[in-house]
Amino acid sequence: ILNVEQSPQSLHVQEGDSTNFTCSFPSSNFYALHWYRWETAKSPEALFVMTLNGDEKKKGRISATLNTKEGYSYLYIKGSQPEDSATYLCAFGKGDYKLSFGAGTTVTVRA
């Protein structure tokens, strides 16, 4: 079992504020780092797949960075909106396509 940790476990953000949270993962045998957004009663939605050290990806107001040498990734939400409320999962992938998930960071955006 690979140790993938996300922090914080949950956070509350005021609408309009920006926030970020962390995923840490093993720095050896790295293949890919996945970010998913998971709303209640829906399927986890793929946000990013990151493979290269130094990668930065952006989708609307959400962006992510990757440091494979030290084993961490940050997810940023700029100008949070109520619809950003969800649990954000990261998953560490090896070359066999199997994913090891963190427990998630639950974001609640207050209007």
Partner 1 sequence: GAVVSQHPSRVICKSGTSVKIECRSLDFQATTMFWYRQFPKQSLMLMATSNEGSKATYEQGVEKDKFLINHASLTLSTLTVTSAHPEDSSFYICSAKDISGYNEQFFGPGTRLTVL
55 vs 78, beta carbon nearer partner 1: 55
Q: What angle do CA 89, 93, 97 make, to 5 degrees?
A: 115
Per CB under 8 A, 89 contacts partner 1: yes
Q: Which residue has the tokens 């990261």?
A: 90
Binding mask 46-65 for partner 1 (x = CB under 8 A): x--x-x--------------
Sign of torsion over alpha carbons 80, 83, 88, 94: negative
Q: Which residues are near partner 1 by CB under 8 A?
A: 4, 31-32, 34, 36, 41-44, 46, 49, 51, 89, 91, 93, 97-104
